[in-house]
Each structure stands twice: as C-alpha cells, then as structure tokens.
Structure 1
Amino acid sequence: MNQKPSTFKMLSVILIFFFSIGTFAQDVKMKTKDISSTEKIPFNPEVKTGVLSNGLTYYIKNNGKPENKVELRLVVKAGSILEDEDQLGLAHFMEHMNFNGTKNFKKNELVDYLQSIGVKFGAHLNAYTSFDETVYILPIPSEDPEKLEKGFQILEDWAHNALLTDEEIDNERGVVLEEYRLGQGANERMMQKYLPKMLYGSRYAERLPIGTKENLENFKYESLRRFYKDWYRPDLMSVMAVGDVDVATLEAKIKEHFGNIKMPENPKPRPEYDLPNHKETFVAIESDKEASFSQVQVMFKDQENSTPDKTLAQYRESIVEGLFSQMLNNRLQELTNNEKPPFVFGYSYHGGTYVKSKDAYQSVAMTKEDGQLNAFKTLLEENQRVKQHGFFEGEFERAKKDILARMEKSFKDKDKMESNRVIGEYVRNFLAEEPMPGIEWEFNFYQKQLPTISLSEVNALVDDYIKDENRVVILTGPEKEGLTKVTEAQIKEVLNDVANKKLEPYVDEEVASSLITTMPKAGTITDYKTNDKLGTTTLTLSNGAKLTYKVTDFKNDEILFDAFSYGGTSLYSIEDYKATVNANGGLSEAGINGFDKTQMDKMMSGKIVRVRPSIGTYSENISGSTTPKDLESLFQMVHLYFTALNKDDKAFNSYLAKQKSFLGNMMSNPQTYFSVKMGEFMYGENPRYTGFPTPEKMDEADYDLAYKKYQERFDDAGDFHFYFVGNIDEKKLVEFASTYLASLPGKNSNEMYKESDFRPLTGQHEKIIKKGTDPKSSVRITFHGPTNYDAKEDFAMETLGEILTIKLIEQLREEEGGVYGAGSRGNISKMPYGWYSFNISFPCGPENVDKLKKAALAEVEKLVNEGPSQKDLDKVKESYVLDHKEDLQQNRFWLRLLKNSDYQKNDPEKVLDFEKNVQSLTTEYLQEVAKKYLNGDYIVGIHNPE
C-alpha cells in the first residue's frame, strides 16, 4: 500500500520513454488528409465492458496467462485532490483502512485469509493512492470457485463496506505516520519548495497524497468517513477482472456483487482542477545537504488543456509525437557518449504532468554537481537545434524502424501477455480515457501510417512545444561547502542566449550495415545430449564450450541467454583487483569491432538485441536477450565481445565522468551512508575490500590493466557454458552456435575460481551509525556464519524468513503501529564456501528502535523455542506453490535455473520435486533449523539521525 504523487498519465509517459511506444499527447496540427479526422478509434473487441444501472463501469477479459489466476482491480476516481482542508492525507488513509476491517472481513481477517490461499501482502495484494485515483490490486487463484467468490466479496467490501471504527482508525495512524516518515528527506524537502512554481496556481500543489503530519495525527473520525461516503460510489468506480475464467462467470460476479450498491440521492459533484497558464518563466533552484543527485528540468506547459485521443487522426498524431521524442532522445543519448558528457543521462517527452488536465513538453537531465548550468544549456540547445534545422532522413528512418520493431514484438506476444500487464491499460482507459483498440489494431495502424508520416510533420512539432510562456525551470542538487549555487539570473541569461544563438546542424554520420566485417571460420558440434525430463538439449562445441538450450512457447518473440566461466576477479592479485575493480564496468562502453556505442546503436536500428559482458568475483559472464528474427545479431555481438572489444580512452573517460557524477553525492544520503558503513564494519577486514566507489577511487581505476585482464578472462571460450531459453528455431541455433561460438578460441584451461581465506565478521556486535537530520532510523539484525551447505536446510532457512516476515508485519506493524514495512530473509550459500545468513530489517522512528528491536528478536526466539505455527507454514506453502506454477511458465526462471544449477554444481532436475519438497516441510524440522542457526550470536546495525 502506498501513495503516489504522480498521476498514471505522468508515470506512463516516463515509462514509455524507457521501455515502449505508447500514446503521447495530441496537440499537433495535422499536415495530411490521408486519414479521417472524425472516425473513432475502435475499442478492443476482446474486452467485455459495460456500465451497471448504478453507474459502475466494468472491464472483463479471459486471459490464460498465468493459468488458474485472475487479476482483480477496484479503481476509484478519488484521490487527494478531492480532500477538504480537514482531510489532508485521508484519501490515502482510506486506502489503508480498507485492509483493517470490513463488513465480511474483520480486523486482520482479510490479509490472513489471502495469505492462507497464497496471496502475499505487499508482493501480490496491494493498493496505491494518487492525486486523482485510488487503485486496489488483488490477484486471486481462480481454479476454486470459493476463492473466486471471496475475491469478489473483498472487492465489494472495499467499495462500500469498510467499517472505519474509531479504534482501528487510531491504530492505523501509527502505520501511516511511519509511511509519512519514510517519505521525508532531501527530495521531499526540495519538492515542497519547487511544486508551487511547477504547479503555479493549482490545487495540486497543496494536495500531496501523503498529507500532513499534523492532520494525520489529529483528524476527526468523521472527516475520514465523510471522504468515504462522498467519493466511494458507483459512478466513480470501475471493477476489472482479467484472467483464466470465462467472461460470463466474471460478468455475473460483478453484477451480483456491485449491481446493488446504491448511488447517493444527491451525489457531490466530482470537481476537476486545472493548471492555470502564466506568462512569466518560473525558476526554482533548490538544494539540500542530503541530496544525492543533481538534476535539471525545463517544462513548457501547453496553453490548452489536454483531451483524450478519440479519432484516428489524433492517434496518428500520437505516433508523430513518438517519432519526435525517439529522435531527440537518440541525440541526447549520443551526447552522453562524449568524452566529456554534459549529463549522466537526458531525455525529453511531451506528455502528462501531475495535473490530469495539462500536458507539457519536458526536458530532463541528471548532471554532475557543478554541471547543472551546462546541462541546462545543452538541453535547450538540442531543442533549439531541432527548431533551426529539424531532424534528418537517416535518423527519421531509424526511429521508424525502432518504433515498429517494438510494436511488432508486442503484437507477436499479444496472446502471451500476463494478466497483471494486460489490466494496466484498462485502468488508464477508465481514469484518463487512454485509447485501447488492442495491439493487433495498433500494430496494423502503425504499419500503415508510419510510411505516410513526413519528416516535415515531425519537425513542425517543436514550434508547438517550445514557447516563452508557461515555462518552468527546476534545478535540484546538493548543498555543500565550495559548491557555487546557480542563480536565477544565470538561468535567464542562458534562456536568452540560446534563443538567439545560431547552431550548427546535427551531423548524422553513415554507418556500416553489419557488425561483422569478416565472417569467422565455423567450428562444429561434437556432442549432442537431451534431457527429456527438463526438455533441454546440451551441445558440446569443437572448442570445448557447451551450450544448453530449452525451446519454450511462453513468449512468441523472446529469447534469453546467459553464459559463465569460472574464475573472475578471484584470480587477480590483490593489487590488480584493487586497480581494476572500478574500471571493469566501463570496458564495454568502448564498443566492438571498431564501432563505438553511437555507431552500434544506429546499426542496430529496428533490431531488439541486448548483450552485456561482465567480470564478477568468481566468474566472467555474458548475458542478453533478443527476438527470434534477430538471433544471429545476438550471436555476432557475443562473438565480437570475445574477440574484438575496442580499446578507447575517450569512451572510458566518458564512463568515468558519468560514474563520478552519479556517485559523487550518494554518501550524503543517510540510508546509503548507513549501508556503506555497515559494509565496512562487517567486511572491512577483507584484503580485497574496496568500499564505496568514490570519485577519487574512480580516478585511480587502471583502464589499461582492466582491458588486459578482460582479454585474459575471455580468451578461452572453451571454458564457457552458454544457455538459451525461449522461442528458438533449433536449426538456426545450431548453425549460429557453430559459426559464432564454436569458432572462438578454446584452450581447455578449465580454470576454477580461488576461494579467499577471509570470512565476514561474526559474533555478538552492535554498531550505531548516525547520519541525517530527519527523525528516521533503520534496524538490521544479521545472524550468519560458516556451515556445510545442505539444500534442505537452505530451503528451510528461506521458509523461516518468509514466516518471520509474516510475524514481523503482524507484530511491528499491526500490533505496535511502529513500522510501515518489515522483512526477513534467510539462505545458505554453497559457493564459494558454505555460509548461512539470516537478515531482519525495518525502518522506524528513533524513539522506537529499542522496543521494536526487542519485539523482532522476541519473534525469532519464538521460532527457536516453539517453532512456527502450522497456520503460518501453510500460508508460505500456498504462496510457494502458486509462485512456482507461474515460474514454470517463465523463460527467465528456466534460464536462471539451468545456469545456477551448473554454476553451483546442483542437479537441475530437483525442480521437478519442488512441490513434494514444499509439502514435506514440517514445523518440527523448521524449529530444528531455527535452533541451529538462530540461537546464537547476531550483529545489530542501527541507523539514527545525527
């Protein structure tokens, strides 16, 4: 359960930039008559939707992935923007209260029941509140009619059956105040200062979902009940059900449970709040001693309010906007590859703001602490460069290829999309009227319309985006001695200078058509073994390397891969390790086969391929993902990372500059500082311990030595084991493996990693670390030490961690009201040596540290002295079985299983006994393991404010 200060609209735009192509805002004037300006965007025919007589809207879809599960949502168009002055924070508080007693589920019964059927609180069951909405998330096992019925009863109770007793309201105050406490810090303090300028004249600036501490402590019970009565009503609600249940059954359940909810006779009008326009440019320059990062942002808010896409013409306009963002962000990405990059990363988009009715064109960058003004200038110049010269045909064609490739991937996997991903589109449709014609229609529309879009259409957007009015500039960053703060006068000077500056046009260099310039001499497959139980095949290549693959139909357009060879940095001398540890991450930044990162990105336009080499402590690795049609490109990149990694001092300097900018102030964050200092305390005696990678340490990184060591680690492919899982064409896989992997050098070195003599600190210790000004503390309790690895004990330790998490939530959150969240985790590792570890952690107020620490240890003591209850064990067993059924249908799970089984020298076929092993767990055995590992010394780390 949480509160979100942003609307779905803003979040989705940011996610769209990073991960996909979606619907952008729609204020571009049409430059073509090829498409109807009145024809409506169709609604996905696969989705059943309707409105009950009381005004409640519903969405239903039968979806078989995952099997025997249905995702339920209750979406309410009511958030913090609707709060009266005596209700600040109560939209979010109401969300909490729906888990604390309803007509059919008294205090704690709801969470207790859901845990009993395998639904975890937080991980599965959840909710969030934002400015304009509250959304409840409930996944339910669907093969049992009783469980399905209970799921809909829970949803109905949330809608209109919350009890809201005085006692439970008071009990929940502590939990919500702890959530409020968690949100305090540098970012929150700076946001409170710049929001009045970003949201000038808007109610949104005064209605952050978390509310105020004063009101959360003192609000009257009736204020909360009034919010529930006014806004939790059918005409503002939607019920959504997507999963492995037939549509008729789901529709009947919705009508049965929600059809009789009465609308109030005189419903309170649901107001909409705007973001007023302003002629002047507002500048906010905020700093904080605990700020970890520096950022610059410039917003050009639209003059007109945004309207949802309704017509084909508007939808086409959204594609035009997507092309603009794609091309500009490609240019910004290129700049980060410079030897002296102007920022760590930067991006631009036109889309939602915090205010539902207002869109804006925004450019954002993360910078080094003294580089804000230069980063701001660079963002403005790149927008101005487009304004003066436009984009060019080469980058335009590449952008179209990339967009279409991503759309094609979504289209090919349309029948393999998990229900929890499908349903998000329905939520956005209800809240913001985002179109949902279905991916098949969208892909066809993109295919038809992309060729008709002219470069001039895209170039024309910049004049609509960039204006002198409705402009806001926001700078945030650290406050420290010796750092000169940017002034508002400097900002306005840059704005004026760039507006009047004549810029050179962007230079779009031509690139080669293929990464491979000389085809390698193919090797052969020397052995071929199958495992019918696991559905895998293992090839032995002529150079000694092995390749294991599993053909699946979990996704139509996905292939994942991983590979390892023993050794890693454990084979380096201590001196060489310390000299290279901070350089290894930058090796791949130089590119391959003479092509730099920018050239590689251009060459791979229209392809979905990712390959990443790395050197770990005990192994060298290379991993990635692709689609069936791009599989050969992945193999080519793997081959070149082994044989033709570039050496480029400028690329490495670019990496160093970005890392130093990113890491430079992280230690000012109290939580980061605490983690680093606890690491020093427990691991600092290790001769190889290097601590936090400060800018000074980054400057000492030896690139030449790191590159030499990389070549040594990757010069024997015969030591590697490769793994591929997904929709694989076996004939092509064998062909590509022979050509690109078997041709790699193989030396039969059969190296093994070296085990260090060092072991982490053990015994009874308490370490108190003070940092920060906010009244926030954290507690970590660690039981660990040497042991002989035992798979059954490892599973028992994991289970004890799950059980203790349940008890910590019950005691520290529900009974004490002292934490927002708490958790524990246990395991026994096999490599590089046998070691058990059991960790407990939670944040809390400084005044509650001792009390809650004792309460947590008391729960551990109960596990040791009494063992867990059968009820709690059964809850964990149910969640294990449910999660495992879903895991078995995931490529990522199988890839991890196959690789880790070999890496740790375990039998992968044990996965077939998972449910049997789950059912064999007993409370008696778990108590034995608890006595063995949780009955001795432990280390306590406490973070307190200064």
Structure 2
Amino acid sequence: MTKNIILAFSLILTIVACSKKVAVIDPQEEQVQSKVTETKSLTEIPKDERLISGVLENGMKYYIQQNAKPENRAELRLVVDAGSVLEDEDQLGLAHFVEHMAFNGTKNFNKQELVNYLESVGTRFGPDLNAYTSFDETVYMLQVRTDSMELFDKGMLIISDWASGVSFEHQEIDKERGVVESEWRSRLSPEQRMQKITFPILYEGSRYAERLPIGDPEIINNADYSSVKRFYRDWYRPDLMAVVVVGDIDPMDVESKIKSLFSPIPQPLSPRNRERYNVPAVPGTSVAIASDKEASFTNVQIMTKLPKIKTKDLDDYRESLKRSMYNGMLSARLSEIGQEANPPFIFASSGYGGNVGDIDAYSSFAMVPEGKADEALERLLVENKRVLDHGFTEGELERQKKRMMESAERRYKEMDKTNSGSLAMRYVYHHLNDSPIPSPAQIVELYEKYLPNIDVYEVNALPEQWITDENRVVVITGPEKQSNPLPTEDEVRAILEKASSISLEPYEDEVIEGPLLDVELSTVAIEKEILNEATNILQLTLANGVKVNLKSTDFKNNEVLLSATSEGGSSLYSDEEYFNAYAAASIVRESGIGKFTNVQLQKLMSGKSANVSPFIGSYSEGMSGYATPEDVEEMFKMVYLYFTDIRNDKEAFESYITKQLGIYENLKANPNFYFSDYVNKIKYRNNPRVGFPSEQKWKSVNHEEALTMYKDRFADASDFTFTIVGAFDVEEMKMLTQKYLGNLPSINREETYNDLGLIPISGNINKRIKKGEAPKTQVQMYYHGPFEYNEDNSYRLSSMIEYMRIKLREELREDKGGVYGVNIYGGGSKMPNEVYNITISFNSDPGRTDELIEAAKAVIQTAKREGPSEEDLNKVKEIQRQAKIKNMKENRYWSRQIESKIRYEQDLESIMMPAFELKLNSLTTEDIKDYARKYFSSNNYMQIVMDPADKPQN
C-alpha cells in the first residue's frame, strides 16, 4: 500500500527516502538524483497541504480533508471512473440505471431502508443525498452528520455498499424501470430533439454521439437483469474508484476507516480494459442546423475541437492562466457588444475549455433574437478574427489580471469558511481528470508569481492555435418558422467565407478614470439605537428616517450582504401603467450610474467585489447587494448613486427591450412555459399583471415614464429598511450607514401597497388541455384558501408539507415507479392577504396520469385520516432541525429572516434555536393530521393536466 500525506509528514517521508538511498547510490549518481528530485519539486504543481490522499493495495484511491464548514457535517463522495461511454450495445442507459439501483437495496440496507434511515437522521433526498451519471463518470454524493460517530460510520458504510454491495433485487429493478423511464420522459424537449440531430455532427465518428447517459427507453424497460449487473461488475472496481471525505472530521481516524471498509473489496482477476475513447478529427468545417416548432430560443455555436491539454506541471499551470485571461477578456468584449442599442445577441461567451473524451474545445456561443442567427454568427466570427488580427490591449489584460487576483484572494480569505461540498468536488475532478488541486493560499502564491510576468503578446499568440477552419463545427438551432427560417448550410458557409476575409480595425478600449462617487458626504446623526441582545442585531434609525438592521457574523470571512425594502412597488400604478414600473429597475441597471455607463462601470470595478441591484416588485421596491469587507464602501456608493444619480441612456434602454423581446417572443412555443403561463392565467382569471409579458407589453414600455416611476419609488428613503449582515466591525459599519444611507433623500411620506386582488379563483376547477410533441403529461394540483397568519400556523403548515413530500415520493416514485420526481411546495403568506397555497406537480406517462393523480389523492386522504407515524413525524422534525442548524450559520438566511420578522412585526428572538426547538418539540401527529384536513380542502382546488397533442380522447 502506498500513501501520500501532504502535511508536515511529507518532509519526513522525503528525508527518510533520501537517507535510504545514501547507502546504495554512489556520490555521482546521488548528485544526479538530487538534481532530478529538486527539478521535479520545482516544477510540480503543489497540492493542498491540508489533503491526505493515498492508494489502497487493491488500487482504490482516497482523499481526506478536515474542514469545519458546515460544522458537524462531512461530505462523502464515491467517484467511479466509468459512465455511459462504456456501455455495451445491450446496455444503453444502464450506467445511469445502475446509479438508481444504488438507492434501492444494498448489502446492509434492504430495499428502501437506505433512504428511510438517512431521512430519519435529517438527510434530505436530493439536496444531501444524490448522484449523477455522465459519459465518463458516475459520482455519488452524501452529506452525513459527524456529531455522532455512529451516524458518520453509517454514512461510510453506505459509500462502501455503493462501491461493492448493491443488491440488484429483480423486483426492485423492475420497479425502478418506470422511475428511470420517467426521468427520460421528463427530459424530452425541443432541445433534446435538436440535440439528436446536432450531436452526431458535433462528435462525428465518436462513441460519445451514441452514448447519451439517459439511454434508450426500450433497453431500460427490457434489459435483462444480467445486463444491469454486468455493468456494475465490470466497472465498479477498486482501480476505477475513489472515496472522498471532506468535513468536520479527524483525518487520521477517517483514513483508518477507509482502509478497513474498502481494502477488502477485491480487484477482478481479469478486469475489462477501461478504454479511453477518442473523438476523431474531421477535416474542414461541418455545419449542423436543427429547428423545432417548440423551440423557444435561437442558439449559435462555433466549436473547434482540439487535443486535450493536461495541466501536469507549473509550466502547464502558467499556460492555463493565459487561457483564463483570454477567456475572460473575450467574454468581456462580447458582453459589451450585448449592450449595444440593437445587439446581435441576447447573451454570448467565448473561450477555451474542456470537452469530452480526448478533446478540448475552443467555443463561441450566442443566444440570439429570432431572425438574427446569421448576424450573430458573423459577429462571433468577426470578434474572434479581431482578436486574431489585433489581439487584446494592455488595459484589458491589466483589468483581467485584477479580476483573477481578486477572485483568488477572495477564496484565500474564505479558506477556513469554504463549504465542504465544493472542496469535495475538487477532489472528484482530480481523480477523474487529474486536474490541479492547490490550496487557496498556494493559488495566491502562484498568481503572484505568474500573473505579473504574463504579457499581452503571450496571450495574443493563443488564437493562432485555436482559430482555424479545421475540425470546426458550426451549430445553429432554433424555432421552426416559415416566416423566420434559420440560415441554410450554404448561407452559413457564405458567412464563414465573408468573415474570414473581412478587414477589421483594432478594438477601442473606452475607459473613464476617476472615483465612482466624487462628492463629499457628511456624517448624519443616529436618532435611535437599540440592541436586541438575544440575536445581537443592532437596530438604527438615522436622522433622515432610514432604518438599519446590523448583524455582524463570523460565518464568512469575506462576505457582507445588504438588502433594502420599502412598501409600494408597481401596485401603486394602474394596470395600464404598471409595466413601465415592472421594467424600470432593469432599465436603470442596464444604464449605469453617475458618470459611468454599465460597460464603464464594469471596467471601473475590475479587481473589486461589490455589486448592487435595485428592484421594483409587485408590492415593494428595494435593493440587494454584496461586497467583501475591503470593498463594502464601494457597495454603499452604489446604493447612494442608485437613489440619487441614475442615467438616462437611450441606447441602454433600446438594448434592454431588444433582448427582452428576444427572450419572450417564442417562450410559449415550449410546452413547459406554455403550461406555466396557462396555469397562472386560469388561477388569476387572466389578470393582466400575471403571466409572461407579451411582445406588445415590451414594445409599450416608455423610457421616460419608466425612469420617472423609478425616481418616484426611490425618492424617499425614510420608508426604507436596510438589513446588513456579514463580516464587519459594527462601529465602522455604523459610520458608513451614517455617511451614505444618512444622506439619502427623505421626504417623510407615508406609503403602503395597494391590494391588487391577486387571489386565486375560488371553487373547484378542473382543466385538461393538449400541447406538445413529447409523450409526457404534466400535472398540477393546487389547493388554496384563507389563512390565519402567525408563526405557529406557518410552522405547522410547512411541517405538514414536509411530511407530504416524503409520503408522495414513497408512493408515486418508490412504490408505483410512476414518476422521477414529485414536487410539493407552498405555505402561508401575510401580505398582501392572509392566504395559503399548496402545489403538487409531476410529469408522467400519459397512460398512467389518472392513476397517479388518484394515488396522490390517496396519500392526502391517508394523511387526513391517520396522520404520520411516530417514525415519519420524527423524520420531519429531524430534517427541519438539521436544516435549521445549517441555516443558522448562513448570512443569507439571517438577512431574509431579519427582513421577514421586521416586515411582519414579529419578535427577532423567534429566529433563534431555542424558539425553534419549542415549536419543533410541540409538533404532534394530530397537528399534521389536522392541518392536512384543513388545508387539503376540495372547496378551493384546481387541477390542471396537459397531455401531449396527439393523445387520443378517453
């Protein structure tokens, strides 16, 4: 067994190894060996010094890192270097099927016992327990508690069972066929149909074009049990697997457990060759064009397939930094083009990155307004050629270096507060791709070493390797419309020819120097200051009436969050006027602030981390923002400018409207969007404020009126409440609020929102419509009615919904195998009316829809009649308890809770764990049964079903 412990032990091991060599190597050979070792150590990319890694005797790798965020939790991963590309002809889809079977019975957990056990200790199916299958890998993910060694050991046992002890009981295989088919069905879409046309051209001659992970439903439904087991036997073996454990653990203890649990897994005597499939080069440029009547968006992609680059040593690492610089600078240029008055695309990006198999790809992508595919294609080609001909400017490079350095330093400052899940995935990718795994501190050192010495000429040399018409594919997909057809292949090739010969001017880098805010502000007095000792929330009232809540935390080292709200919103305007207010804040964001356009503002903020976004909602207006502690004053300057100095930028307005038209013009051609819009129109009786905005609405927006409404909504800061949560010194933050928030305009008007009457239609509504080509039915079951809003009622209703989430999944997915997922969500609200709503939704086989609706109703009836068992009640409580424990260490959770408690005039103390435990401990089976009876009422029930267009009438 070999082992690599990258801590102080690494130095000891090196010394021991060298001391052994002295006795057997002559001095000359020792000198040569020493130079080789020194050279290697100087060229190796450092690994995170906190990592313990190794290889067991059977070939299985492991990665272990201690990390205390979140506390008393660990993230476990089982990484299998095998995916759908390895499937035999009779196994298409079975790599993914095997992944499903890992949750349906193992050596130590019979049938559904695994999920039942994890839910009983507070693990949520989905967020905390999940897996995915791709072309070349399958990865299992589990978050476990570490406050009990028994719980952690059970988690490790589960990972071990997944690696070598999946049961594959025939009855469970047959039940899971329906679940996997339902997942396949849920993914049927216009994008999937177009992909079936474009993928064989993108990956011509490659196995990747024939092995999409979702597979073939015929094989999924009819595969022999032996075919399923064969995939598991062939590829789930130690030399292809790794175990990752990151969290609040003792690394040495975990290493011992890994050796004990995973060393006994045998390596096959005659293992199948794990072939690495290639994507063969195709001469010239291929063109793939696909359209679909249900497509909502037009997309353009140019992809040049290139040999995969491995980042093996420091020279390679330096090259990877150059590629990152290139990607960032070109994407910034494309973003700037996207803000032109009549932009050729809604969104665009370009750059070099990994792809499948043995290739990387240089890709340019654009999401395009209808009818602009040819223009967007030409513009992508032109901007790439502009870089090829003239390169980037020194100013662009310096800004990109600042952005990269700021990002690296931000990660370094959060080094001890980084979530274990993101760290675990780094090691997943290292096992699969041998990607570098330096620590945040080491990354900063590498950036400081290399970034200053990379000049613009080096970066400008890169496109010569990438921009070529060889092994290139142009892909255009979009709506199938006679009035606006996509370009033909001949037209595409003509655009390629034209763009290759065009003469271009260099890019002009327009930059405005100067501070973001160039006025001096005085400090304004604090009129009232109250400390809530239970929560350590400081409440301020400034002289201009602005109210501020401050909560200093240590959850993150480098995060400060800001939110601000005031009642009113677009409800204060008539149905004929409101859409100007709806669009106003977005128009302002697109226009920039002060003397800076939005493009200039992004350039000015390079190397800084601060942002503010104003909004105008239906019943309130406000702002949200974030910053690092170093840049928090920049955030306050933005707040001040969004209140006092917005820009009237006609070009930005036209750009925004053009892009919104491009997004919404074909949205309802997609059955999913159509169904959502249809449900809302029925629910709210065709209220003009509900549903997707029409083309007519977007064209009706008046720029001047929108700005006037924005100015009115932000004319009086005295009715705004600001909440600031994060890593800051309270006294310093008080001074910043006095300076920037204290000088916001104040006219002391008293306002509230208007009740728009947006209460769902009463009575029993049952609608069934037909739409869509895919053989799937969408179901929405909606319960609603009046609600007495208070904290206890709200908690019990959410508890009942949590219980129903468990039981609906058990019945519709696990027992009946009829759905991939069933969603249930809802709750009570206080403003603008005290009402509740509960939505149950799922997709199904059209032939099983009525059966599954009745099954869902039967679950509801059982809940009304019997309520939960003690086991299920405890599951609900433990899921809620564990979620609350994690949330209490999150800045965003605190920000939302403070805002909610203030708005609804509730005690801030109710945020705290003791208050929550009182509610939790008081919850009974009778509560959930009573709430099911009361709130699953047929008095106000809406059931809407959308069948495929070709489904015959019953």
- TM-score, length basis structure 2: 0.94
Measure, in 2, the Cα distance between the counterparts of 1:505 and 1:624: 36
> Is the partner of 1:843 in helix, strand or coil?
strand
Matches within 5 A, 1:555-570: 555-570=556-571
The alpha-carbon deviation at position 36 of structure 1 amounts to: 9.2
Matches within 5 A, 1:362-441: 362-441=363-442
> Is the partner of 1:840 in helix, strand or coil?
strand
Aligned to 1:819: 819
The alpha-carbon deviation at position 145 of structure 1 amounts to: 1.5
> Are 1:103 and 2:107 an aligned pair?
yes
Aligned to 2:320: 318
Aligned to 1:137: 141
Q: 1:574 to 1:663 in 2, by over 3 A?
A: closer
- Retained in 1: the 8 A contact 2:478–2:486? no
Measure, in 1, the Cα distance between the counterparts of 2:629 and 2:582: 35
Aligned to 2:332: 330
Deviations 1:30-51 (A, max 9, x none): xxxxx99971112212100000
Aligned to 2:120: 116
Aligned to 2:833: 833
- Retained in 2: the 8 A contact 1:683–1:689? no
Aligned to 1:9: none
Aligned to 2:25: none
Matches within 5 A, 1:642-681: 642-681=643-682
Matches within 5 A, 1:542-941: 542-686=543-687, 688-912=688-912, 913-937=915-939, 938-941=941-944
The alpha-carbon deviation at position 365 of structure 1 amounts to: 0.6
Q: Percent identity?
A: 44
Please list every run of 5 or more consecutive structure 1 residues that lacks an aligned counterpart in the other structure.
Answer: 1-34
Measure, in 2, the Cα distance between the counterparts of 1:278 and 1:225: 36
The alpha-carbon deviation at position 578 of structure 1 amounts to: 4.3
Letter in 2 for 1:42: P
Please list every run of 5 or more consecutive structure 2 residues that lacks an aligned counterpart in the other structure.
Answer: 1-38, 950-954
The alpha-carbon deviation at position 585 of structure 1 amounts to: 2.9
Aligned to 1:5: none
Measure, in 2, the Cα distance between the counterparts of 1:535 and 1:605: 34
Measure, in 2, the Cα distance between the counterparts of 1:704 and 1:154: 61
Matches within 5 A, 1:458-537: 458-537=459-538
Measure, in 2, the Cα distance between the counterparts of 1:552 and 1:791: 25
- Aligned-residue Cα RMSD (Å) equals 1.4
1:182 to 179, 182, 186: 186
- Retained in 2: the 8 A contact 1:582–1:697? no
Deviations 1:823-857 (A, max 9, x none): 21231111111101111111111111111101101
Aligned to 1:72: 76
Matches within 5 A, 1:13-162: 39-162=43-166
The alpha-carbon deviation at position 690 of structure 1 amounts to: 4.8
The alpha-carbon deviation at position 902 of structure 1 amounts to: 1.1
1:197 to 193, 197, 201: 201
The alpha-carbon deviation at position 888 of structure 1 amounts to: 0.8
- Retained in 2: the 8 A contact 1:76–1:237? yes
Letter in 2 for 1:341: P
Measure, in 2, the Cα distance between the counterparts of 1:943 and 1:532: 53
Deviations 1:685-741 (A, max 9, x none): 54x535321222210122221211111110111111111111113333222212211
> Is the partner of 1:868 in helix, strand or coil?
coil
- Retained in 2: the 8 A contact 1:828–1:835? yes
Letter in 1 for 2:476: L
Measure, in 1, the Cα distance between the counterparts of 2:566 and 2:469: 57
- Retained in 1: the 8 A contact 2:85–2:211? yes
The alpha-carbon deviation at position 540 of structure 1 amounts to: 1.4
Aligned to 2:13: none
- Retained in 2: the 8 A contact 1:400–1:450? yes
The alpha-carbon deviation at position 268 of structure 1 amounts to: 1.0
Measure, in 2, the Cα distance between the counterparts of 1:766 and 1:936: 11
Letter in 2 for 1:219: A
The alpha-carbon deviation at position 162 of structure 1 amounts to: 1.2
Measure, in 2, the Cα distance between the counterparts of 1:787 and 1:165: 47
The alpha-carbon deviation at position 447 of structure 1 amounts to: 1.4
The alpha-carbon deviation at position 752 of structure 1 amounts to: 1.4
> Is the partner of 1:575 in helix, strand or coil?
coil
> Is the partner of 1:370 in helix, strand or coil?
coil
> Is the partner of 1:55 in helix, strand or coil?
coil
> Is the partner of 2:462 in helix, strand or coil?
helix
The alpha-carbon deviation at position 583 of structure 1 amounts to: 4.7
Measure, in 1, the Cα distance between the counterparts of 2:40 and 2:145: 44
- Retained in 2: the 8 A contact 1:800–1:826? no
> Is the partner of 2:485 in helix, strand or coil?
coil
Measure, in 1, the Cα distance between the counterparts of 2:522 and 2:417: 38
Measure, in 2, the Cα distance between the counterparts of 1:149 and 1:579: 58
The alpha-carbon deviation at position 564 of structure 1 amounts to: 0.6
> Is the partner of 1:414 in helix, strand or coil?
coil
Letter in 2 for 1:87: Q
Aligned to 1:298: 302
Measure, in 2, the Cα distance between the counterparts of 1:709 and 1:665: 29
Aligned to 2:9: none
Deviations 1:809-836 (A, max 9, x none): 1111111111000021231111111101
Measure, in 2, the Cα distance between the counterparts of 1:101 and 1:814: 12
Measure, in 1, the Cα distance between the counterparts of 2:265 and 2:163: 9
Aligned to 2:5: none
Measure, in 1, the Cα distance between the counterparts of 2:571 and 2:347: 33
Q: 1:631 to 1:580 in 2, by over 3 A?
A: closer
Measure, in 1, the Cα distance between the counterparts of 2:930 and 2:800: 11
Aligned to 2:16: none
Measure, in 1, the Cα distance between the counterparts of 2:541 and 2:822: 47
Runs of 4+ in 1 over 6 A off after TM superposition: 35-38
- Retained in 2: the 8 A contact 1:37–1:312? no
Deviations 1:590-615 (A, max 9, x none): 11113211111111111111100011
- Retained in 2: the 8 A contact 1:583–1:702? no
- TM-score, length basis structure 1: 0.94
Q: 1:37 to 1:66 in 2, by over 3 A?
A: closer
Measure, in 1, the Cα distance between the counterparts of 2:734 and 2:40: 49
Matches within 5 A, 1:163-174: 163-174=167-178
Q: 1:758 to 1:434 in 2, by over 3 A?
A: closer
Letter in 1 for 2:160: E
Measure, in 2, the Cα distance between the counterparts of 1:903 and 1:677: 32
Deviations 1:419-461 (A, max 9, x none): 1111110000000000102111111110121110111000000
> Is the partner of 1:402 in helix, strand or coil?
helix
Q: 1:379 to 1:86 in 2, by over 3 A?
A: same
Measure, in 1, the Cα distance between the counterparts of 2:944 and 2:192: 26
The alpha-carbon deviation at position 356 of structure 1 amounts to: 2.7
1:234 to 235, 238, 242: 238
- Retained in 2: the 8 A contact 1:797–1:838? no
Measure, in 2, the Cα distance between the counterparts of 1:487 and 1:728: 58
The alpha-carbon deviation at position 584 of structure 1 amounts to: 4.5
1:943 to 931, 943, 946: 946
Deviations 1:489-509 (A, max 9, x none): 111111111111110111112
Deviations 1:758-794 (A, max 9, x none): 5320211101122101111111111101232132121
**Which segment is superposed worse, 818-827 or 204-213?**
818-827
Measure, in 2, the Cα distance between the counterparts of 1:917 and 1:252: 41
**Which segment is superposed worse, 728-737 or 489-498?**
728-737
The alpha-carbon deviation at position 575 of structure 1 amounts to: 2.7
- Retained in 1: the 8 A contact 2:582–2:616? no
